[in-house]
């Protein structure tokens, strides 16, 4: 079983819809990251969070440490949001931890 699981694997939405992508993890973590990968392959970091909620524009990321779960929300979705969204975690190893463990990603397609 993967330490980081994302759902759904694929998501198709109509422009304007509210979108939620979920990430569950099975280990103790020190931080969780949400990344975006566009069709060309480049990856952009969207959020890094260890508690609570963060918002940037139409994107909102939340994390529940007790439930080992995080969600990425996109409000008023747009075709340019079409990308693979990746969840990754720094596993809590008790010291400095450079390594990220990644989920397999969620492919989001937003149709006009």
Partner 1 sequence: DGGITQSPKYLFRKEGQNVTLSCEQNLNHDAMYWYRQDPGQGLRLIYYSQIVNDFQKGDIAEGYSVSREKKESFPLTVTSAQKNPTAFYLCATSRGSQETQYFGPGTRLLVL
Cβ nearer to partner 1, comparing 1 with 99: 99
Q: Which residue has the tokens 């949001």?
A: 81
Q: Does 56 bind partner 1 (CB under 8 A)?
A: no
- The C-alpha atoms of residue 104 and residue 84 are separated, in whole angstroms, by 9
For residues 101 and 30, give the distance between their C-alpha atoms in angstroms, rounded to a whole number. 12
- 90 touches partner 1 by CB under 8 A: yes
Angle (nearest 5°) at CA 108 between 10 and 79: 150
Q: Which is nearer to partner 1, 42 or 112 (CB)?
A: 42
The site for partner 1 (CB under 8 A) is made up of 2, 4, 30-31, 33, 35, 40-45, 48, 86, 88, 90, 96-105
């Amino acid at each position: 079983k993967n330490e980081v699981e994302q759902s759904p694997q694929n998501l198709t939405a109509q422009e304007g819809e509210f979108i939620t992508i979920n990430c569950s993890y099975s280990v103790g973590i020190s931080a969780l990251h949400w990344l975006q990968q566009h069709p060309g392959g480049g990856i952009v970091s969207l959020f890094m969070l260890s508690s609570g909620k963060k918002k940037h524009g139409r994107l909102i990321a939340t994390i529940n440490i007790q439930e080992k779960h995080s969600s990425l929300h996109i409000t008023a979705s747009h075709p340019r949001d079409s990308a693979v969204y990746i969840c990754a975690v720094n596993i809590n190893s008790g010291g400095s931890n450079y390594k990220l463990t990644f989920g397999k990603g969620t492919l989001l397609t937003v149709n006009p």
